[in-house]
Amino acid sequence: MTLQNQIIATTSASTTAPHDQVRLHEPFLSSAWHSIKKLFGFAVWVLTGFGLLGHLVGRKNSKSRTEEIVIYCVPRSFFLWAIILTGFIAAACLRHYPQTAVLWGWIYIWVLLYTFVTLLFDVSTPRFLLWAGIFTLVWLTSKYLEDVRDMYLLSGAFDHMRSLRPTLSAGFASVVSWLLLFPWIGGLFHSFSRGRKTFSPNSIEEWFLGEGREILDRNGLKFRSRYRDLFESLLGLGAGDLEAVDNNQQVVKRWESILFLFFVWRRLDQVLHQRAAVMETSSSNPVPVPTQSMAS
């Protein structure tokens, strides 16, 4: 290679190297900026009540009410919020009023029991009424036998439970709440990154962080809400399931544990009814589309 060719090669390499480095840094900077925006969006979503503020503002805007609605599915770890909040409140109160340790002990036990039942079992409203009726019948029978026949039954069990006097310490409540707080926040991020569903008059869009989007055509589908677990609905702030059913009454898709479903159902139902109106106005020969929603 001649001296002139060496100079040209060295010059071209020195001029192209910075551009190659810029190209290498562009995807990294873009990915980092995208992650920062997602974290910021997650923080805003949490601070606005997991999207509840957006629903309340959307009710006042008639245009947004008929265009689309965004809802979120939550994992079962979301229902830990009751025991976490109770632990922090109890710890704060016990530091100032240590004489209430027994009272907070009973409160903590009942909240813990309620949370465990919610996570482990599906207690529908009819099942809850059935068991409540059975327990009431057993309790009334026990009271009758105790008053008439002097038989000491359930009162003995209740007296034994009261004599146990469970006490709650501020340190124990704080430690349990802090330990449960991390999976709870992880569940929230899972809802924000993989549980977002956007319902519009023509399609349903699901977004999965790091994987992409999935769009479902709403043609020929009708929707119904289901509240299969009463305790879960209460802990989930009106949470419930949404089912998409085809013309053969087959469930095409099910979205479980939708946050605030009971409170946003009316607005969601308006969006679901929009497809029939769009089909009728866009065609000279309107064809009825069976998209009427049914609420359970």
The CATH number of residue 256's host domain is: 2.30.29
Residue where a domain stops, chosen among 190, 222, 247? 190
The answer to whether position 264 is within a domain reads yes
- Same structural domain, 170 and 243: no
- The residue among 134, 164, 190 that closes a domain is 190
Q: Is residue 113 located within the same domain as residue 170?
A: yes
Range of the domain at 106: 78-190
170 in the same domain as 98: yes
Q: Specify if 2 maps to a domain.
A: no
Are residue 84 and residue 154 in the same domain, yes or no?
yes
CB 76 within 8 A of CB 257: yes
205 strand-pairing partners: 198, 215
User: Looking at residues 44-59, what average pLDDT do you find?
Assistant: 67
Residue 175 lies in a domain: yes
Same domain? 170 vs 104:
yes
How many other C-beta atoms are found inside a 10 Å radius of the C-beta of residue 257?
23
User: 41 lies in a domain?
Assistant: no
Please state the domain count of the chain: 2
- Decide if 85 is inside a domain: yes
Same domain, 247 and 112: no
Percent of the chain beyond pLDDT 70? 72
pLDDT at residue number 104: 95
Give the residue among 128, 83, 80, 123 at the shortest CA–CA distance from 107: 83
**The domain boundary residue, chosen from 190, 211, 241:** 190
Alpha-carbon Rg for the chain in angstroms:
29
Q: Please, what is the average pLDDT of the chain?
A: 78
Q: Is residue 250 part of a domain?
A: yes
Q: Are 165 and 238 part of one and the same domain?
A: no
pLDDT, tens digit (0-9, with 9 covering 90-100), for 56-106: 665 555 445 457 888 899 998 999 999 999 999 999 999 999 999 999 999
Residue 7 lies in a domain: no
**Percent helix, percent strand, percent coil in the chain, to nearest 5:** 65, 15, 20
Examine the domain organization and report whether 184 and 245 are in the same domain: no
Residue 218 and residue 238 in one domain: yes
pLDDT tier at 201, thresholds 50, 70, 90: confident
Buried b (16+ CB within 10 A) or exposed e, 105-141: bbbbeebeebbeebeeeebbeeeeeeeeeeeeeeeee
Is 234 inside any structural domain? yes
Tell me, what's the pLDDT at 293? 42
